[in-house]
Amino acid sequence: MKQPLAYVHPAAKIAPSVVIDPFVTIDQNVEIGEGTRIGSNVTILEGARIGKNCTIFPGAVIGAIPQDLKFRGEETLAIIGDNTTLRECVTVNRGTAARGRTVVGNNTLIMAYSHVAHDCIVGDNVIISNATQLAGEVIVDNFAVIGGGSLIHQFCHIGAHTMLQGGALVNKDIPPYVKAAREPISYAGINSVGLRRRNFSSDTIREIQEIYRYLYLSGMNISDAVERIEAELPASDERDEILQFVRNSKRGVIRGYQ
């Protein structure tokens, strides 16, 4: 259902059940899935792909060209998954030649005034709180929770099931299952409350705690701790995920609290 005061390009592919409020602008080369609602004064530009049952609040802009001087007008996408909510004035830029797309996953909440820059990959069930800024090519894995007003440096990777304090300045990778806090941003324990809410068993939570004791509380450097974890702790999905994350980190992982 489209209000007469909205503009929808005739080449846009809009499911019949989409609700479009007044003063919306939807450009060509846009696709919007069933059950989605587009609030007033939303702007959806070329390359946007919005899934089913999303809610886009007033003032959001999806698919604007990247704020990257290397961008040369290449055809790229900004993809929003199903059941995702973008609150007031959220901006999601489309990708560049680096990845070709910016992606926000399913069941994700991005709160007001937050920015997702070019080529970011935001996973499923993520919560990004108000006024958070993701620079280019940031990766945020599933179930991460980012506190309000956080600033995430380009190319950083935030692991799954993490909890990041509000106002954080992040310039290193944050491994999965942890809480990150203080200034400079540091390991502050594991996200045990979040893990329990997501039905991780007590045994699994203890195993994750033991892994991070080696990494952050043993006095070893990261490389030595990784070797000891692999040699001394039993293999599990969580252990292997943490080891792979640390080994693949390009910016280096956050350190323990000093």
Cite the active site residues: 118-119, 136
Residue pair 189/177 in contact (Cβ under 8 Å)? The answer is: no
What element of type H or E holds 203? helix 202-212
Neighbouring residues of 201: CB distance < 8 A, sequence distance ≥ 6: none
DSSP 66: P
Q: How far apart are CA 203 and CA 214, in angstroms?
A: 17
Give the Cα-Cα-Cα angle 58, 60, 66 (nearest 5 degrees).
170
Neighbouring residues of 236: CB distance < 8 A, sequence distance ≥ 6: 204, 207
Instruction: Give the C-alpha distances (Å, rounded to integers) separating 227 from 207, 232, 247.
Output: 16, 9, 11
User: Which long-range CB contacts under 8 A does 87-90 form with residues at least 24 apart?
Assistant: 87/57, 87/60, 87/111, 87/112, 87/114, 87/130, 88/57, 88/58, 88/59, 88/60, 88/112, 88/113, 89/58, 89/59, 89/60, 89/61, 89/113, 90/57, 90/60, 90/61, 90/114, 90/115, 90/116
Q: How far apart are CA 175 and CA 200, in angstroms?
A: 17
